[in-house]
Amino acid sequence: MSQFTPRGGASRRPSRPNDRRSAPSSAFEAGVKFAEQLGTTPSLNYVPRREAPRGRPNRSSGGRPYAGGSSRSSGSSYGGSRGGSGASRGGGSRPATKRGNFQEMAVNLSQLVNKAGPIEDEVVFVPTHQFSDFAIDERLKANILAKGYITPTPIQDQSIPHVLAGEDIVGLANTGTGKTAAFLIPLIDKVLKFRALGKDERVLVMVPTRELAIQIENEFFGFAKGLGLTSVTCVGGANIVPQIRVLRRNPAFVIGTPGRLKDLMERKDLNLSGFSTVVLDEADRMLDMGFINDMKFILGFMQKERHTLFFSATLDREIEKLIGDFLKKPARVSVKTRDTASTIDQDVVHVTRDNKFDTLVKLLSEPGMDKVLVFGRTKHGVERIATDLNRRGVRADSIHGDKTHGKRQKALGLFKQDHVQVLVATDVAARGLDISGVSHVINYDLPGTYEDYTHRIGRTGRAGKAGKALTFIQ
């Protein structure tokens, strides 16, 4: 099959969007409206604040993509031809490159082209427990059942008994495997049992992004309904004053990003001396984002004899060092079987600099492109893509670090509720977000590393459903 070529000529030069931030009241109203749509009660009065990036430096999304080789797999519908000059069958590779201040991942076409296997051929997991088997509070069991949870996922089935036993744990699992419930359920039970004994047990949950923090708190609301437990989300981009107000009420769970948690500690508004339980979720991402010193600072103020739960999608030398520094004789649970789910059909799309945007528009008009997550390189580039897609008649919104908290949550809500077809995002959306029904992930710009690539495409093909991932290569 020949290389995919869109109709039309070069794309129009995208215009610079008007990215003025809204007034605090409108941002708060957007956040409240989104929370009400989810059936939750927001605990913070969010107002805009420009988010300072902690991760890798970026460059404009409009530049040339990395020039990988031509490849396609048997049965693929987007790649180049099988034979002929310059074609390969997935064996080509190029080293990582640095363009401007942005690092692009090494292109190994055998990693970007994969035909998804039949879903029915997947090995069926047989749990050793049901949620009803766990020795947890009966009211908590009722809430779990009300959420429709009956059979634990592998990470939940293997982790919960260790946490209930008070053991430190290292959980290694792919994204979308149910890690949040794996720590929330046993820790909610732990707090309830300590309170029954007259002890004030409190839990700190540290995460890399505010979206993940909010998602965890929404899960907490469901599990802790009617149990008399409270929580607070402490994240940047939100008014710190309401967070301080809630902290003074000593909530059982404090969920936050390292930067904001450290700010609160330095203000003397967060005292961790009474905390003996901590969860480090997406620890590898926090390391990538440069939070290691903040993490060490925060943990240094907790009780020395603490209960630590450590979750990561990857395990390398740096992560192992963190485990050695932070945990004591942890139980290890690994349910990660491969880098990317076998339910994801992966392929490349060969583009030129001039037809790149037109190729995207053409793809989005094809049948089955129902709910598409498009990843771009930079905040400005992502906003520009979303603006131009709307001009071409494609319903799209964007999420990136320069957007106010309320606008980011509103964009996520519109995408989750199918009010827009396309969500264009930076890597802020690559981890932790659980968005059901994403039909396609398109890497408009290459990510910085293969690990980032696996997290991006992990937004589709979730919960055993089929998904497709396409990567633009020139």
pLDDT band at residue 139 under the 50/70/90 scheme? very high
Q: What is the mean pLDDT of the chain?
A: 78
DSSP labels, 330-348? -EEEE---SSS-TTEEEEE
Tell me, what's the pLDDT at 137? 97
How would residue 116 be classed by pLDDT, with cut points 50, 70 and 90? low
Q: Which residues contact 124 (CB under 8 A, 6 or more apart)?
A: none
**Model pLDDT, residue 402:** 84
Written as one string, the DSSP assignment of 256-288 is E-HHHHHHHHHTT---GGG--EEEETTHHHHHH
Per-residue model confidence as pLDDT tens digits over 57-76: 333 333 333 333 333 333 33
Residue 224 is predicted with a pLDDT of: 97
Residue 163 CB contacts under 8 Å (≥ 6 apart), including other chains: 169, 182, 183, 186, 187, 190, 309
For the segment 218-228, the average pLDDT, to the nearest whole number, is 96
Residue-level pLDDT at 278:
97
What's the CA gap between 166 and 186, in Å, rounded?
Answer: 10
Look at residue 74 in the predicted model and tell me its pLDDT.
Answer: 33
Locus of tokens 């060490």: 296
Highest-confidence segment of 122-131, 280-289, 336-345: 280-289
Domain boundaries defined on the chain: 29-40+60-119+342-473, 131-334
pLDDT, average across residues 92-103 = 55
Instruction: Give, for 382, the enclosing helix (H) or strand (E).
Output: helix 379-391
The whole model's pTM is what? 0.61
Residue 217 is predicted with a pLDDT of 95
Give the pLDDT confidence score for residue 448 in this predicted structure: 82
**Residue 416 in contact with residue 435, Cβ under 8 Å?**
yes
At residue 376 the predicted structure's pLDDT band, cuts being 50, 70 and 90, is very high
Cβ proximity of 11 and 351 under 8 Å: no
When pLDDT is averaged across residues 344-363 and rounded to a whole number, the result is 92
DSSP 436: T
Q: Quick one: pLDDT band at residue 304, thresholds 50, 70, 90?
A: confident
Percent of the chain with pLDDT over 70: 70
Query: pLDDT value at position 15?
Result: 41
190, 167 in Cβ contact below 8 A? no
E-state strands within 365-420? 372-375, 396-399
**Which range (329-338, 365-374, 443-452) has the least confidence?**
329-338
Write b or e for each residue in 45-71: b if 16 or more Cβ atoms lie within 10 A of its Cβ, otherwise e: bbbbbebebbbbebbebbeebbebbbb
Same fold, 29-40+60-119+342-473 and 131-334: yes
Q: Indicate the SS3 state at residue 463.
A: coil
For residue 96, pLDDT beyond 60: no
Q: What is the largest CA-CA distance in the chain?
A: 75
Q: Which of 197-201, 227-231, 275-279, 436-440 has the lowest mean pLDDT?
A: 436-440
What is the CA 239 to chain-centroid distance, rounded?
23
Q: Render 195-211 in DSSP notation, one character per residue.
A: HHTT----EEEE-S-HH
Ranges 88-97, 120-129, 222-231: which has the least confidence: 88-97
- Whose tokens are 């059901």? That residue is 436
Please report the pLDDT score of residue 226 as a whole number: 96
Taking residue 362's Cβ as centre, other Cβ atoms within 10 Å add up to 16
Superfamily of domain 29-40+60-119+342-473: P-loop containing nucleotide triphosphate hydrolases (3.40.50.300)
Q: 96 with 455: CB under 8 angstroms?
A: no
pLDDT value, residue 340: 61
Task: Give domain 131-334's CATH architecture.
Answer: 3-Layer(aba) Sandwich (3.40)
Within 13 A of 13's CA, how many CA atoms are on the CB side?
A: 1
Q: Is 468 exposed, middle or buried (0-12, 13-18, 19+ CB in 10 A)?
A: buried
The runs of H, that is alpha helices, within 20-117 are 24-37, 109-112
